[in-house]
Amino acid sequence: MNAPHGIRDDAPPRDTLPPNTYLLRCLALPGLSRRLGKAAVALLAEAIADADLLYNIDLALTEACANVVRHAYPHAGPGNLEIVLTLAPDSHVEVEVADWGVGFSTWPVVVENAHPEAEGGRGLFIMSRLASHFECRKGHHRNSVFMRMQVAPEQWHRQWAHSNAATSFTTPDQTPAPETP
């Protein structure tokens, strides 16, 4: 069954998000997934001033979203693709890309570089090298890659440096969330 705006309702709702956390979701289709990744980077660019770091996050998100599009839903129509961003000013950014598809073919996932002649198979390796912490997760019919990128204090925009202030965000049903005190 489809929810409004083409978003499938196979993903569990999230009632509340912690401060400085953003949830973005779309159908796992090539054009939509790329736009979702770009939207995530645009949100991060409001907080992070370092262009090289933003490029690395964009590359990791592109790889993760492309993997969901290619591998998560091989037998059914496209399902959900979700990005969760959590900003910890003066410390790090957490990026989680999730789906509710078939999951990884082997568990635990072994991350290694592909043979030089291989046409694919480098995405997880690239993500693991760009992140200061990387892991593959599964549970409750949800599969994800989790990446933490360290962000030095000088890499944040001034208004985000030394700040743990709550941000406003929009919930998946597009209603404004209550402000956090």
Q: Which domains does the chain have, with CATH numbers?
A: 19-155 (3.30.565.10)
What is the overall mean pLDDT for the chain?
A: 82
Confidence tier at 119 by pLDDT (50, 70, 90): low
H runs (alpha helix) in the chain:
30-45, 51-67, 123-130
What are 25-65's pLDDT values in tens digits?
Answer: 999 999 999 999 999 999 999 999 999 999 999 999 999 99
Residue 177 pLDDT greater than 50, yes or no: no
| Contact by Cβ (8 Å): 149, 92 | yes
Quote the pTM value.
Answer: 0.80
Q: At what angle do helices 51-67 and 123-130 cross, to 10 degrees?
A: 150
What are 27-37's pLDDT values in tens digits?
Answer: 999 999 999 99
Q: How many CB atoms lie within 10 A of CB 36?
A: 23
CA distance to 25, 31, 57, 74, 100, per residue, from 138 (Å): 18, 25, 22, 18, 9
As a whole number of angstroms, the distance between CA 72 and CA 25 comes to: 15
Strands (E), the chain: 21-27, 80-88, 92-99, 133-139, 142-150
As a whole number of angstroms, the distance between CA 160 and CA 157 comes to: 5
